[in-house]
Amino acid sequence: MSIADFSPLALACILAPFGLAFGSFANVLIHRLPQEEAENRDIVSRPSHCPSCGKNIKWRHNVPIFSWLWLRGRCHACGWKIPIMYPAVELLTCALFAISPLIFPFGTLIWFKGLLCGYALIVLFCTDLTEYLLPQELQLPLMAIGLLFALPQVFWPKAAVIVSGGGWDYLYVNAFYNGLQQAPAWHQLHGAVTIKSSALGLALGYGFPWAFNFAYVKIRNAIATRLFHKEPLESGMGMGDFKMLAWLGAFWGWKHMLGILFVGVVIMTVFVLPTHFLRRRAANTMYPLGCGLALAAPIVVFWGPMLWGTYMGLI
């Protein structure tokens, strides 16, 4: 199969409008999935509406980016100030779609997997940042999808695609290879995520942080309640964090999952500790670990092996 007739630039221009549309839908997911009432989480039949006044949004007021600029960032019906996060999510999703054929060979399994992972990370980053929630309605299907991504390479290991590498260059890539391979702007080959590694990543992604959280809470409560007479802590991590690590492990394997957990904790430590101590927040203050994991995922997926090799060389 050949997709070489489409240059990376042409594919970026074709995919960018789809990115804007999916970015608008990402805002729907970000706003509705954290809602407690089931009818408020309806993303299929319920039309777009203003979160402030509840009135349905007309199509001409719902065009990504352009409507926000036209309305000067306010609801046409009630004047509610639309947060800057709405157009920011649309632009970020547009950029994700546009650059995807540059870093993943277009039309392959890894292209679709990378695009889906990036899209999910944008949504989860925003829900955790704003509501401290990582909706299971999105994460549970991703666990199963991550496992399914490892199957096609077993049944069709030699299926190939020819894509444009830019200019007169062409790349001959594996259509169902479940790992990073050559693309117009990416030239490294990473090991494929096998079904065994995916299943182990899923199990450890949920089980390892659950066991750590269980032990931490038990030890902390035993010390804090007996020596300092403080209220017992129910949980140190949210269940959504476990699920996020689980589906990331299913997508990228257990090794990458451990790397994402480590880098995510480092990112959160760098940003959280100063605010925790300078603002003197309570010990039970919630922090969005999912945001750290979302930022860590692309770092580890693309440069994890290089970072690990550098670390091992230093020691």
pLDDT tens by residue, 50-64: 888 878 888 888 889
- pLDDT confidence of residue 4: 62
CA-to-CA distance for 108 and 100, rounded, in angstroms? 11
pLDDT by residue (tens digit) across 240-257? 888 999 999 999 999 999
177 is written with which tokens? 């290879």
Confidence of residue 139 (pLDDT cuts 50, 70, 90): very high
Pairing type for strands 2-3 and 169-174 reads unpaired
301 is written with which tokens? 């997926």
- pLDDT confidence of residue 288: 86
- Given a cut of 60, whether residue 1 has pLDDT beyond it is no
Mean pLDDT lowest among 20-24, 79-83, 89-93, 190-194:
79-83
- pLDDT confidence of residue 224: 62
Angle at 240 between CA 235 and CA 242, to 5 degrees: 80
- Residues composing the chain: 315
- Work out the percent of the chain whose per-residue pLDDT is above 70: 87
227 is written with which tokens? 């020596």
Q: How far is CA 45 from CA 23, 40, 49, in A?
A: 18, 11, 12
Mean pLDDT of 219-230: 64
Mean pLDDT of 173-199: 93
Q: Left (φ > 0), alpha (ψ -120 to 50) or beta: where does 104 sit? A: beta
Highest-confidence segment of 11-15, 42-46, 64-68: 11-15
CA-to-CA distance for 278 and 52, rounded, in angstroms? 34
What pTM was computed for the model?
A: 0.88
Read off the DSSP letter of residue 132: S
- Given a cut of 70, whether residue 271 has pLDDT beyond it is yes
- Given a cut of 90, whether residue 235 has pLDDT beyond it is no
Q: Left (φ > 0), alpha (ψ -120 to 50) or beta: where does 55 sit? A: beta
- pLDDT confidence of residue 115: 97
Angle at 256 between CA 173 and CA 270, to 5 degrees: 130
Confidence of residue 76 (pLDDT cuts 50, 70, 90): confident
- pLDDT confidence of residue 285: 64
- pLDDT confidence of residue 239: 80
- Given a cut of 70, whether residue 238 has pLDDT beyond it is no
- Given a cut of 80, whether residue 278 has pLDDT beyond it is no
- Given a cut of 80, whether residue 5 has pLDDT beyond it is no
